[in-house]
């Protein structure tokens, strides 16, 4: 199948592109390299350097590639930048996505796999775990912009027959992750500990998130090629992990038992506790996470040790 992936030089989507290629699909990648890296690009994929906000560029790629499926990961994903620059956030996440949808309709693409957010969209949850049909109350521009596109997808399916699947990610981690952005806390701890810097925890360490290893995310994107028409799915571990637990796991993996975190005031606007209900993805996509946090942390720590030129973690 011909698949166009946007943001394919980034942490998560580069793994997804690799998974599609390993599955025998014909893959092309769009990325502006503002956050991604050429080093992440699969050499078997065709690469187009450009910005999804550029409608002419997007249309030219669709004209050349004639994709059957679009996997749309490209986004402004820095929560704090979205707060500082909401117009920029909306221009990338909403207007850029509309360029993708317009081109998909114009060039006969049959399916869009859209990557949304399972943390920022829900806001502070009313109950745990959070289901896909629970209230959407984003408290950041990033959450608003990512969720807005879900409504456009529903409308484009109604008006033009463009099929779609929405994957709302938990906090994805793993090799190639950047230490920038809220979801990068595992990467941040790895880099700081390896550099001999005392890691900072915002709050008392009790804040929780739902962490999912990137290989599990890849399998969800593979399943979404064929299943889940017009549906929204939480893609996460289905369990909550505190900042303190993450710190302890990374510290232990690095053998730094004497290291202590520095605790500072919580940042305003951060959700206190969240984890996602993943039963719908299990039922409809036939997907379940397979990599537990301890194993995912081992693989991630090894990656950062190798990147830092240190001996990989054992065990």
Under 8 Å CB-to-CB from 180, ≥6 apart: which residues?
35, 78
Indicate which residues carry an active-site annotation: 142
């Amino acid at each position: 199948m011909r698949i166009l992936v946007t943001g394919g030089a980034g942490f998560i989507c580069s793994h997804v592109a690799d998974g599609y290629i390993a599955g025998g699909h014909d893959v092309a990648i769009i990325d502006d390299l503002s956050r991604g890296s050429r080093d992440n690009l699969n050499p078997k994929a065709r690469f187009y350097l450009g910005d999804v906000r550029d409608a002419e560029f997007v249309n030219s790629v669709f004209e050349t590639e004639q994709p059957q499926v679009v996997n749309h990961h490209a986004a402004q994903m820095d929560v704090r930048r979205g707060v500082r620059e909401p117009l920029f956030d909306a221009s990338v996440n909403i207007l850029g996505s509309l360029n993708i949808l317009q081109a998909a309709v114009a060039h006969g693409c049959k399916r869009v796999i859209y990557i949304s957010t399972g943390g920022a969209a829900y806001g502070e949850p009313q109950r745990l775990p959070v289901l896909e049909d629970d209230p959407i109350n984003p408290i950041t521009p990033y959450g608003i912009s990512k969720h807005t596109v879900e409504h456009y997808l529903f409308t484009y399916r109604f008006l033009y027959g463009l099929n779609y699947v929405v994957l709302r990610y938990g906090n994805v981690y793993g090799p190639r992750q950047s230490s920038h952005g809220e979801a990068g806390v595992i990467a941040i701890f790895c880099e700081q500990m390896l550099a001999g810097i005392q890691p900072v925890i915002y709050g008392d360490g009790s804040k929780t998130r739902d962490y999912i290893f990137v290989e599990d995310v890849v399998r969800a994107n593979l399943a979404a090629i064929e299943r889940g028409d017009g549906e929204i799915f939480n893609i996460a571990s289905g369990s909550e992990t505190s900042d303190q637990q993450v710190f302890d796991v990374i510290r232990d993996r690095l053998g730094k038992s004497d290291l202590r975190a520095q605790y500072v005031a919580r940042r305003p606007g951060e959700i206190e506790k969240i984890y996602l209900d993943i039963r719908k993805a299990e039922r409809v996509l036939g997907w379940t996470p397979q990599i537990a946090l301890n194993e995912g942390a081992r693989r991630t720590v090894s990656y950062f040790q190798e990147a830092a030129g240190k001996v990989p973690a054992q065990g």
